[in-house]
Amino acid sequence: MGVQITETTLRDGHQSLIATRMRTRDMLPIAEKMDQAGFFSLEVWGGATFDACIRFLNEDPWERLRSLRKIVKNTRLQMLLRGQNLVGYRHYADDVLDEFVRLSVKNGIDVFRIFDALNDLRNMEPAIKAVSKYKGHVQGTICYTTSPVHNNEKFAEMAKNLENLGCDSICIKDMAGLISPALATDLVKIVKSRANIPISLHSHCSSGMAPASYFAAAEAGVDILDTAFSAFGWGTSQPPTESMVATLQGTPYDTGIDLELMYEIGEYFASLAGKYRMLFTAETTRPSVNVLLHQIPGGMLSNLVSQLREQNALDKYGEVLKEVPRVRADLGYPPLVTPTSQVVGIQAVLNVLLGERYKQVTQEVKNYFLGLYGRSPGPVNEEIRTKVIGDEPVMEGRPADLLEPELEKLSEEGHKLGIIHSDEDLITYALYPQVAVKFLRGELKEEAMPSPVEATSKSSGVTDLPVEFAVDVDGEVFNVKVSSIMSKTISVESPQKPQEVPEGAIVSKMQGMILAIKVKAGDKVKEGDVLLTIEAMKMQNNIVAEYDGTVKELFSFQGEVVNAGDILMVVEADDK
């Protein structure tokens, strides 16, 4: 049999190119035609689609799944599951995981592509077991990366372990588009020789090599390739479906898919792309071989650009790209994919903006060194670890073992709030407690599509998506939207800041939002005490006292959006 296709337009395609904004109403009219093509599966759910639905689109993600299932009668529906993180950004307790998988199967998912950002099998095993239990197809995933501690032999060993855990197929997930034709040939061959289950290759055109690597993988015996229709392919998305079907035609790897039907579906998406055109950016639609050096996946790259722009530090972009691989090395070379891409990327930004490495560290980097994300692929930099967590003990076991069951308490809470009307509602609430309340109450408005007029009136010349932050504070996700207009409005309301910088002033080094102020005027503080927490670039940063002293005056408040250089408070040093 030839190669089969997992069609990703309805998940990764629009996630990679237009920040996951495709609406269900734009998917349904073409779903029946897609069902006729004979794809191995349609990837339609998971990854960022769940979050985007309830945060921006005012759509019930479960309803999206059910309505696609109603139309797609012959083709498997597939989702991307972030291991113990499910479709969120933190580890959830096992009871949430089990119920999530049960409902995903019930609402229509057939294939679960399960990955862990660190390739730590302990973070994948409960999801693998749950999907088997509910009779779904388990696709165990290897997050592909290159580093001194990664090699094909280790990936092949992981493939064997995944097969032993009961996976039905294996995905080589090249989220940053790093794999070359030669590397793909070697890797597919060795994985095929070790594991006796179908192998799929998932890559992105970020470096421009993916179509060639796909052909090489086909020659090496790959069973499934991931593609997206050309209007939502190329760039930081997958190789185009129509072109790959044509490429393989007449070879031993022929997909057997009707090219005319591909053309017809392709035309539908091409016209749909017109509607979303203001969301496409140059950074995501054009390949760049630079990705081979910094390894940052596409979504993260455009995010970094917009974060740096917010910080008024776009000139530091080059420096940050050089710092990313250094931070990654310090952390033992994690593959860069949600959430490690954010953890590494933001620490690199801080290291560059503050002019000193690890002078300030996000809570997420601390947690990483504490072992709360799992086992790092290689040893971490001991010196940096000591600087960040001192002699605090490192968690050796499975991180989710620290979590108590969550559902019962959440169910009680949710019912008290009057927002739970189904089992699915409870899981939506469990995954995104903060965001879900507004959505489940029906108070969320669908985000407006940016109009060409608005976009051209912006001075930056780059499509200005709103800068949105998902801030996870002890499991509560806060939805923070920062735009230039909003920060101006808020600074009008902020306490009068002194014109000149007084002695003892604590000055913000970054643009961000004040999440919490831990002190009040008159408080005595010791060196190292946390004064306040600023959320910037999706990460929490504790600002600590650099000396013993007394808080004289506060010039900031919780929820305020501050800029770099703003005076936050004055702490008078104790007399020595």
Q: Which window, 167-175, 385-393, 462-470, 524-532, contacts Mn ion (CB under 5 A)?
A: 167-175
Neighbours of 447 (CB within 10 A): 15
Site string for Mn ion, 80-99 (x = CB under 5 A): --------------------
The nearer residue to Mn ion, 288 or 363, going by C-beta atoms, is 288
**CA–CA separation, 255 and 263 (whole Å):** 15
Bridge partner list, 7: 42, 227
| Min CB(25)–Mn ion separation in Å | 24
| Min CB(209)–Mn ion separation in Å | 15
| Min CB(12)–Mn ion separation in Å | 4
The nearer residue to Mn ion, 145 or 428, going by C-beta atoms, is 145
How open is the CA angle 74-75-77, to the nearest 5 degrees? 130
The nearer residue to Mn ion, 82 or 150, going by C-beta atoms, is 82
Query: How many residues at the interface with Mn ion, by CB under 5 A?
Result: 2
The nearer residue to Mn ion, 185 or 227, going by C-beta atoms, is 227
Structure-token match 């388990």, residue found: 138
Which tokens in the block code for residue 118?
Answer: 């660190």
Q: What are phi and psi of 2, to 5 degrees?
A: -75, -165
Bridge partner list, 471: 478
| Min CB(202)–Mn ion separation in Å | 6
| Min CB(383)–Mn ion separation in Å | 34
Q: Which of residues 2-21 bind Mn ion (CB under 5 A)?
A: 12
| Min CB(526)–Mn ion separation in Å | 46
Strand-pair category, 539-544 with 530-536: antiparallel
Q: What sign has the CA pseudo-torsion 349, 46, 447, 440? A: negative
Residue among 328, 358, 326 at smallest CA distance from 343 = 328
Query: DSSP for 507-543?
Result: E-SS-EEEEEE---TT-EE-TT-EEEEEEETTEEEEE
The nearer residue to Mn ion, 12 or 535, going by C-beta atoms, is 12
Per the CB < 8 A criterion, the answer to whether 123 and 81 are in contact is: no
Residue among 308, 297, 68 at smallest CA distance from 204 = 297
485 three-state secondary structure = helix
Give the H/E segment covering residue 51: helix 49-52
The nearer residue to Mn ion, 57 or 175, going by C-beta atoms, is 175
Taking CB atoms, the residue at the shortest distance from Mn ion is 12
Which tokens in the block code for residue 275?
Answer: 């509607």
| Min CB(13)–Mn ion separation in Å | 9
| Min CB(175)–Mn ion separation in Å | 5
Residue among 61, 34, 57 at smallest CA distance from 46 = 61
Query: DSSP for 21-50?
Result: ---HHHHHHHHHHHHHS--SEEEEEETTHH
Q: Which of residues 368-397 bind Mn ion (CB under 5 A)?
A: none
Q: Which window, 125-133, 170-178, 262-270, 429-437, contacts Mn ion (CB under 5 A)?
A: 170-178
Sheet containing 549-554: which strands, arranged edge to edge? 505-507, 567-573, 549-554, 524-525
The nearer residue to Mn ion, 12 or 425, going by C-beta atoms, is 12
The nearer residue to Mn ion, 6 or 185, going by C-beta atoms, is 6
The nearer residue to Mn ion, 299 or 512, going by C-beta atoms, is 299
How open is the CA angle 303-338-517, to the nearest 5 degrees? 70
| Min CB(91)–Mn ion separation in Å | 21
For 82-136, strand residue ranges (E) read 111-114
Q: Which window, 35-43, 173-181, 280-288, 312-320, contacts Mn ion (CB under 5 A)?
A: 173-181
43 binds Mn ion (CB under 5 A): no
The nearer residue to Mn ion, 117 or 444, going by C-beta atoms, is 117
Question: What letter represents residue 78's amino acid?
Answer: Q
The nearer residue to Mn ion, 175 or 231, going by C-beta atoms, is 175
Site string for Mn ion, 174-203 (x = CB under 5 A): -x----------------------------
| Min CB(278)–Mn ion separation in Å | 23
| Min CB(563)–Mn ion separation in Å | 34
How far is C-alpha 266 from the chain's CA centre?
A: 27
- Interface with Mn ion (CB under 5 A): 12, 175
